Amino acid sequence: MRDNTLKYLLVMPAVVVVFATAIWPLIEAARLSFTVGRLNRPGSLDQYLGWENYTWAFFEEPAFWNSVWVTAVYTVLTVGLTTVFALALALLLAPGGRLRSSAQTLLILPFAMSPALIGVSFRFMFNPEFGLFDAFFGVLIPPLADVSWLADPNLAFAVVVMADVWGWIPFLTLVLIGGLASVPRDTIEAAQVDGASGWRVFRDVTLPQLAPVLAVVIILKSIFSLKTFDQVFMLTNGGPGTATQTLSHYIYFNGMKYGQIGYSASVAWLMVIPMIFLTYAYAKFVFRKA
């Protein structure tokens, strides 16, 4: 067989699978977003409404804007905190040594915890009666013991953010260690010989060299933060009230609990829009390398 035919034949099965499992549902979700789309009403999935689901979300549903706000704050906080902590940890671990290499191995272990499991374990640790934090604060800061962390809207949000940051630090740290390893040592040493302080070396030499890697992790982390569902579902289930209801949770809730497939498809599509920009930015980095 000629290579010219073969090369397309080899790609075909994968294209079919990607189309059937990802492209088709995207298009179908777009179609559903213009329908009445009630799960319990036969025929409503083909009954078209125009833009009504979208205008409903924008103008009639404070809960939609609440989840947009929750997701935005959540994304900014988790991306920022995870990046800062991971960078600090990467700088601590980067130069090698035995303790550091075993630490790097240990950093793989939290990956065994899926987001759902992270949600469970944080709900466990923040239990006001027998959670780990109750015990911890009971000894160190007694007024903070017996606080019902997950019953207070602001504290629950803080715990959700904390769980996410905890879960993502290892991955970002490992990526940044890799990035730091590619910063040429002699540039750093030359700067040190010239008498630059540790902070100046970091700001003027290390950070600029690390910038592309930092950009990639920030884009990736933003994508994952925007999508967050599993751990929020297991940790607070969006509550108390709607204090921790992210967009994914809001879509799930409207679609599956209330059977409003059409409406939740429209919100889901609104969520795809920022993803397109982020994916475009990410793809630029991938292809710059290739």
Of residues 34 through 93, those in contact with other proteins by CB under 8 A are 39, 45, 89, 92-93
What is the size of the binding site for other proteins (CB under 8 A)? 97
| Binding status of residue 144 toward other proteins by CB under 8 A | no
Token output for 197: 């302080």
Which residues is 48 bridged to in the sheet? 35
Question: 128 by DSSP, 3-state: which?
Answer: coil
Q: What is the amino acid identity at position 174?
A: L
In the block, tokens 């006001």 appear at 128
CA nearest 264: which of 276, 250, 285, 284?
Answer: 250
> Restricting to residues 17-36, which ones interact with other proteins according to CB under 8 A?
17-18, 21-26, 28-29, 32
Closest approach of other proteins to the CB of residue 154, in Å: 22
158 binds other proteins (CB under 8 A): no
Nearer to other proteins, 129 or 186 (CB): 129
Please report how close the Cβ of residue 99 comes to other proteins at its closest, in angstroms. 6
Distances (CA, A) of 154 to 68, 74, 112, 144, 151: 16, 12, 29, 15, 9
| Contacting range for other proteins; rule: CB under 8 A; set: 53-61, 141-149, 169-177, 187-195 | 169-177
Please give the structure tokens belonging to residue 189. Answer: 């040493």
Q: Of these, 68, 116, 183, 191, which contacts other proteins (CB under 8 A)?
A: 116
Residue length, the chain?
Answer: 290
Residue 222 structure tokens: 């933003």
Query: Of 72, 81, 113, 147, which lies in the binding site for other proteins, with binding defined by CB under 8 A?
Result: 113
261 in contact with other proteins (CB under 8 A)? yes
Which of 156, 160, 180, 265 is the binder for other proteins (CB under 8 A)? 265
From the CB of 218, what's the least distance to other proteins, in Å?
A: 12
Q: Which residue is it, tokens 């950070």?
A: 207
Name residues contacting other proteins, limited to 176-235 (CB under 8 A): 178-179, 213, 216-217, 220, 223, 226-227, 229-230, 233-234
Q: Which residues of 152-169 are buried (b: 16+ CB within 10 A; e: fewer)?
A: eeebbbebbbbbbbbbbb
> Is there binding between residue 11 and other proteins (CB under 8 A)?
yes
